[in-house]
Amino acid sequence: MKTDAPPLSGVRVLDFGHVLAAPFCTRLLADLGADVVRVESSRHPDFPWPSSYRHSDGRHASYLNTNRNKRSVAIDLKHPAGRDVARRLAVAADVVVENFSAGVMTRLGLGYETLKETNPRLIFASMSGYGNSGPRRDWTSMNMNLQGYAGLMQVTGAEGDPPTAISNSWNDYIGGLHTGYAIIGALTERQSTGQGVHLDIGQFECSVSMIAPLLLFSAVKQRNPERMGNRSTRSAPQGVYRCAGEDEWCAVSVRDDGQWRALAAAVADAGLADETRFATLPGRMRHHDEIDERIEAWTSRLPGDEVEARLKQAGVSAARMRRVRDLVEGEEPSGAYRRMTEPRVGSMLTTALPVELSESPLPPASPAPALGQHTREVLREWLDLPDGEWAALDGQGALV
């Protein structure tokens, strides 16, 4: 049945997140219609990774993108009155999300055990590098450290390369995705039980969960998996081949013998199709280097878009390498991003939730808030706070 309301309409989320992991999680919830309120303070501003754009208020483009569709309240959590306001907001919330180091929220008097006494329906999501319990709970975590400890750097890149990290803050995004998924599951469960829950989510475990086949390989074979680079154990040939022009490439993956015959026919090398040693996957794996040389002898004479077009027409999986700028300036429509009005920028490109729901709308993108932009508004809506009390708190320095 169609509805005019987004899926998470009416769900209140109190966001104590900073930098990327928790803010990305809560942005996913905001994209689904939740009322996400960031708890921030000028005493401890949240300025995530620098980017080419930075506004006079310190907000980088990365902040503007990650925190769109949210509201902001300014509360000094080091101030006793500020902590009291935060606790009252948590009582009015459905979900609290935080990604401080283990134990910080408890020391502030805002831990789950304290908050659930006055809000037993509260879903409290703790996001830290290694979780809030266990022998690693006090470890400091950064994206690269987590990738190294989770085994990811041992399986990225090619044999002989130094350990290689996945760029673009892999652990923060993976942790945010897992936590958003867990929160939606907890909201569903609460409809039956009427009870909230504490979700303790470590980015380490989230990262390890994404390499399950490699864990299984190591358990069965009793050895580390090989670093494959651009190659595969199930497709051959597979690689990125140089094309005509400066730094132009095309990614090609042949998944079965039929695609191999199609590629051999497309490549101007009559001998490829006739070579019986290349006819099956095991043979192509053994002679991968030679096949790569012969494919690249053909691709290097043609522009990448022509290589892509010829192989696609032949039924071979192929895609020219595009740069991020190509994605932005491409002519084809994309649901991956959209433009929104951003008062600090004018018109801003922002990534979108890559989902379309047939029965309910998603809210339009709205700009990230200025620090404390909605303090008075949220305290009035969530707490029914009278103007006199707001003025008193402001005068005490609790709302900064």
**Do 154 and 227 form a contact (C-beta atoms < 8 A)?**
yes
Whether residue 354 has a cis bond before it, omega within 30° of 0 = no
**Do 183 and 123 form a contact (C-beta atoms < 8 A)?**
yes
C-alpha 85/C-alpha 40 separation (Å) is 13
C-alpha 264/C-alpha 360 separation (Å) is 48
Number of Cβ within 10 Å of residue 43's Cβ equals 14
Q: Which residues pair with 158 in a beta bridge?
A: 228
C-alpha 70/C-alpha 205 separation (Å) is 28
The strand ranges marked E within 47-115 are: 71-74, 95-98
Q: Which helix (H) or strand (E) holds 318?
A: strand 317-320
- Establish how many alpha carbons lie within 13 A of residue 353's alpha carbon, considering only the half-sphere containing its beta carbon: 23
| Of residues 105, 11, 107, 29, the one with CA closest to residue 66 | 29
- Establish how many alpha carbons lie within 13 A of residue 364's alpha carbon, considering only the half-sphere containing its beta carbon: 5
C-alpha 375/C-alpha 393 separation (Å) is 11
The 3-state secondary structure of 85-152 reads HHHHHHHHCCEEEECCCCCHHHHCCCCHHHHHHHCCCCEEEEEECCCCCCCCCCCCCCHHHHHHHCCH
Residues catalogued as catalytic: 172
Residue 116 phi, psi (nearest 5): -70, -20
C-alpha 127/C-alpha 99 separation (Å) is 4
